[in-house]
């Protein structure tokens, strides 16, 4: 009996439930984003082609530019989902006071901490383990399964050195840490193995004991962070991944820093761009996001001409070209939100039971959007998260209660959102007396 079709349906149902659950919480779903995406087909296609190029050994990047409510967070999540489906490991880093743009070590640490694959989150250990396993498998295939453990270990350690030879010419510490990790796992010293993995990930407070055993002096710092990222990508490739796709989100935070730190952060971008162009970071894809002020404001990228020149765009008409360094996103509008709502109805029907499309008609969706936007100064672009959270609540009540009539019962109660509104939402909210 062919069981593949029911299995696919089960997965689709689970994904549908996950999407609805995320919308209930006002968050971006972790998977299945293509099912609620609207108006991003061209941008997704461009990013997909870039990823195909990177998977062949290239290096590339894209800057995503848009105001709050333009869908930057959604496009980033969708791009990383596309990357994982193409065999990449991914990482999503948010620029903040603890992870500023000018500290490459902090960026590297967050890349390692947030590393994700299709199979799991926090995937750094699995990636390294898969790489070491692939090395052992290759050695056994050549030498035969009769090879003694000691000989296998020695050959594997030589392979570790060989694979990272280009990195070790500049810094031998990564290979030393990986050897220590491999030996510790083989001897059952899992505390030492964990310390090795922590050091490789640039975690703070890794004890002196580990560094003595590994023969390492010092820690990963800003000067070697990109070198270690190259080594990590070598490991990913050896473990069977296409490469790494890294989103660096909310760069506009950099504008609030003192000038020397701002300039150093922008120089970091120049450093990454030039390394990609030279071919020094193969199989790496970077996405950077920021508001228009981040690109054109006096404290933004424009303040460093060498960076601005590298990523500025030609825009002389209304035909946006997402193949240029920047993807410029327009604000979300009513038509797009209506389309998303109708897609959510379909997803809800697959997750639970068929939605009552008479009670949840397209006409009701429009009326509901108008009710909410009226409380936010008519700004559709700031309400998608709020609207979808409210809309799922209406769908739930329609399923739970035959007597529920959303036309009569639904009112938007803004007071229930107290404490959970984002500053951009609060800024345009109409206060009722």
Across 47-136, where does the E strand assignment appear?
A: 59-65, 89-94
Please write down the long-range contacts of 157-162, taking CB distance under 8 Å and 24 or more positions apart. 157/182, 157/183, 159/135, 160/132, 160/135
DSSP 432: P
Percent of the chain past pLDDT 90, that is, above it, reads 64
**Encoded tokens for 22:** 């995320």
> Could you tell me which of 264, 245, 310, 315 has the C-alpha nearest to residue 86?
245
Quick: pLDDT tens for 126-164: 999 999 999 888 888 877 667 777 888 888 888 888 888
For residue 326, the surrounding DSSP H or E stretch is strand 326-328
Chain segment 237-288, per-residue pLDDT in tens: 999 999 999 999 999 999 999 999 999 999 999 999 999 999 999 999 999 9
Q: Helix, strand, or coil here: 244?
A: strand
Residue (of 334, 417, 418, 340) closest to 370 by Cα position: 334
Give the C-alpha separation, 129 to 241, whole Å.
13
* pLDDT for the residue numbered 31: 84
pLDDT band, very low/low/confident/very high, at 190 (cuts 50, 70, 90)? very high
Q: How confident is the model at residue 70 (pLDDT cuts 50, 70, 90)?
A: confident
Q: Of the ranges 8-22, 107-121, 261-275, 297-311, which one carries the lowest mean pLDDT score?
A: 8-22
What is the reported pLDDT for 238? Answer: 93
CATH fold label, 39-117+241-328: Rossmann fold (3.40.50)
Reported as a single tens digit per residue, the pLDDT across 201-226 is: 999 888 788 989 989 988 899 999 99
Beta carbons of 160 and 182 less than 8 angstroms apart: yes
For the chain, give every domain's residue range: 39-117+241-328, 124-226, 334-428
């Amino acid at each position: 009996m062919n069981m593949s079709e029911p299995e696919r349906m089960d997965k689709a149902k689970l994904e549908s439930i996950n999407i609805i659950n995320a919308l209930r919480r006002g968050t971006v779903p972790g998977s299945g984003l293509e099912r609620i995406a609207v108006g991003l087909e061209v941008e997704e296609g461009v990013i997909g082609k870039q990823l195909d190029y990177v998977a062949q050994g290239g290096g590339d990047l894209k800057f995503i530019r848009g105001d709050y409510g333009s869908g930057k967070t959604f496009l980033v999540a969708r791009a990383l989902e596309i990357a994982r489906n193409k065999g990449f490991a991914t990482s999503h880093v948010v620029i903040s006071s603890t992870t500023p743009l000018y500290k490459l070590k902090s960026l590297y640490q967050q890349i390692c901490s947030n590393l994700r694959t299709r199979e799991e989150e926090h995937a750094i250990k699995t990636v390294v383990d898969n790489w070491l396993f692939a090395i052992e498998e290759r050695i056994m295939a050549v030498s035969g399964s009769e090879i003694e453990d000691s000989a296998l270990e020695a050959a594997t350690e030589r392979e570790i050195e060989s694979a990272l030879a280009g990195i070790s010419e500049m810094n031998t510490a990564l290979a030393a840490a990986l050897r220590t990790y491999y030996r510790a796992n083989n001897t059952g010293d899992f505390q030492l193995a964990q310390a090795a993995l922590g050091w490789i990930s640039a975690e703070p407070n890794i004890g002196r004991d580990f560094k003595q055993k590994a023969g390492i002096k010092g820690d990963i710092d800003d000067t070697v962070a990109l070198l270690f990222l190259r080594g990590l990508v070598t490991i990913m490739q050896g473990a069977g991944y296409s490469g790494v796709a890294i989103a660096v989100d909310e760069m506009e935070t950099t504008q609030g820093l003192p000038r020397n730190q701002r300039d150093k952060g922008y120089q970091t971008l120049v450093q990454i761009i030039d390394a990609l162009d030279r071919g020094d970071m193969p199989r790496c894809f970077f996405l950077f996001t920021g508001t228009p002020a981040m690109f054109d404001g006096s404290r933004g990228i424009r303040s460093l001409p060498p960076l601005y020149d590298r990523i500025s765009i030609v825009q002389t008409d209304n035909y946006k070209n997402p193949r240029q360094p920047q993807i410029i996103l327009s604000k979300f509008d009513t038509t797009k939100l209506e389309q998303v709502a109708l897609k959510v109805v379909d997803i809800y029907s697959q997750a639970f039971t068929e939605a009552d499309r008479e009670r949840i008609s397209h006409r009701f969706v429009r009326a509901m959007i108008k009710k909410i936007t009226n409380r936010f100064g008519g700004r559709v672009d700031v309400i998608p998260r709020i609207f979808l959270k409210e809309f799922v609540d209406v769908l739930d009540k329609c399923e739970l209660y035959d007597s529920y009539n959303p036309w009569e019962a639904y009112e938007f109660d803004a007071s229930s959102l107290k404490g959970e509104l984002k500053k951009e939402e609060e800024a345009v909210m109409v206060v009722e007396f």
